[in-house]
Every structure is written in structure tokens, then in C-alpha cells.
Amino acid sequence: MTLLQAGMALRPPPGLRLASVSALLLAGLMLFGPWLAPYDPTEVALDLKLMGPSLAHPLGTDHLGRDVLSRLMAGAQVSLGAVAAILALVLTLGVGIGSLAGMAGGRTDAAIMRVCDAFLTIPTFILALFFVGVLGTGPANVVTAVVLSHWAWYARMARALVAGLKRQDYVLAARVAGTGRLMTVVRHILPAVLAQMAILASLDIGHMMLHVSGLSFLGLGVTPPDPEWGVMINDARAVLWTQPVLVLWPGLMIMLTVMTFNRLGDGLRDALDPALQAGGKAP
């Protein structure tokens, strides 16, 4: 409710509104893409392969004669769904573990932070590759691998925020007013942490997207013939010189997603930062 209030108190700038619309469209595509797609995205029709745009196939067909538009729309489910799942898991894990460390302080804090450090020393993509190697391929394992290679960044950030916030006078005020420890955390610490983490996450969506597509591109994530944007780019590689648009479409979708959420993150940051700083010293 706090976030909502903060959101209502702040009028979003037009750029942010545009990005929100785009994000909504992408979300719609993620939820309903496979049902909205005009053709079965896996239906092979070799006699129709590598056709240019036409009325029947607005974006043409790929090397197996599958409808590119349908594959893009259906692929959104996995490409965006994986990112949504990663985000939800990374935020839950990161904020949960990080807040615990920040609230507890002392040895608990130190122990958790050493574990984080271990994860942070290895570049995320290498770490994700390592986890896929351990877990095996497939979309669920790719999600797990990306989560495992990213949660520590979020935990560190959340911990730093909590450690600063718990020293704020208004947290002390809530405490002397008789608010319980858990309630104080839920009402005064978590909303501010989540607001900041949402900003971080929305800036990071592009990065995760590239991870998922990158792993799929390497053939470790979604397996053909299932549609996914990274897989589509990989498929189109063979015909890159004759049909470059086949790489272009999924590439554009990835770019649109990345840009949308970067803009959303920037807007969120601009909107929330002054509000968070208004009442207290920066942690």
C-alpha cells in the first residue's frame, strides 16, 4: 500500500507512461501470445520456407517454413516468462536473504555476506553456464541457473539498504511508539527496500533477458522446435547472409524489451528517489 501511495503521489513523466504501455503490451504477449498467434509456431511447411513478407505471413517464414510472426508471439511466453520468473525468484531470494543479513547484523550478517562474495567473484554468465552444466539443459534449469548467478547482487544491495534504513529516525519512532519488530520491518523498511530493488531489477531485466536468450542461443535452454527468441536467432544464423531479417525480428523484440524496462527503471528511479530522500539522510 505504501508503494501504491507513493506511486499516486508522483505523476509519471510521459516517457515513463510510454514505457509502461509497452511493458503492458509485452506482458499481454507473454500471457496470451501462443493463443493470439495466427499459425501453429511449430508447424513445418518446407514448400513455404524462407518466404518474404506477404499478406498470409506478414513477417515471412523461416528456414523450415514456419510463420515468423507466430513464432515471435508464441516465443514471448518463454522468453519473457523466463525473465519474469527469474525476476520474481531473484527478488524474493535477494531481498529475503539480504534483509535478514541487514536486520540481524553481527555474525549472521558476516556469514551471509561471505557466501555472497563467493558468488560475486565469478562473472554471472560464466556462473550461469556452470549451473546449467550442473543442472542440465532446459528452460527451468536456465531460470534456476540465472537466479543462482544473480541473487547475490540483490542480496548485497538489499542488505546495504536495510542496514541504512534501520538507523532512520522514523524506524526508531515506530519502535518507541510500540510497533512490533516484524511490523516495523514490513511497514517502514521493506517498502523502501522494494522500491529501490524494483528500480534495480527493471534496469537489470535486459541483462537477464540476454542471459536467457544467450543460453538458448547456445542450445542450453529451450530446445527446438519450441519457439523462443534466442532459439530463433540461433536458427536464423545459418541463413544470416541471405535472410538477415530473420535475425532482425527476434533481435528487435529483445531490444524493445530491454529498452522498455530500462526506461521504466530510469523513470522509477527519478520518481522514487526524491521521495525517499525527502524525509531522511541517505543511508
Cβ nearer to another protein, comparing 57 with 166: 166
Q: How far is the CB of 201 from another protein (least distance, A)?
A: 19
| Residue 12 near another protein by CB under 8 A | no
Alpha helices in 121-244 (DSSP H): 124-135, 139-165, 169-176, 181-184, 190-217, 229-236
Burial class (CB in 10 A: 0-12, 13-18, 19+), 230: buried
Amino acid symbol at 130: F
Q: How far is the CB of 30 from another protein (least distance, A)?
A: 30
Q: Which region among 12-20, 139-147, 245-253, 275-283 touches another protein (by CB under 8 A)?
A: 275-283
| Residue 278 near another protein by CB under 8 A | yes
**Please, which of residues 179-198 interact with another protein by CB under 8 A?**
179, 183, 187-188, 191-192
Cβ nearer to another protein, comparing 2 with 262: 2
Which H or E run contains 63?
Answer: none
Burial class (CB in 10 A: 0-12, 13-18, 19+), 2: middle
Count interface residues toward another protein (CB under 8 A).
30
Cα 107 to Cα 102, 111, 121, 176: the distances in Å are 11, 6, 21, 26
**Please, which of residues 89-128 interact with another protein by CB under 8 A?**
105
Cβ nearer to another protein, comparing 45 with 110: 110
Cβ nearer to another protein, comparing 12 with 280: 280
Q: How far is the CB of 170 from another protein (least distance, A)?
A: 5
Which of 8, 46, 178, 241 binds another protein (CB under 8 A)? It is 178
For the range 4-10, what are the long-range contacts, defined as Cβ-Cβ under 8 Å and sequence gap of 24 or more? Answer: 6/191, 6/195, 6/272, 6/275, 7/271, 9/275, 10/271, 10/272, 10/275
Which cell is 31 given? Answer: 500471457
Amino acid symbol at 218: L
| Residue 9 near another protein by CB under 8 A | yes
| Residue 170 near another protein by CB under 8 A | yes
Indicate the SS3 state at residue 61: strand
| Residue 11 near another protein by CB under 8 A | no
Write out the residues near another protein by the rule CB under 8 A: 2, 5-6, 9, 105, 166-170, 172-179, 183, 187-188, 191-192, 275-281
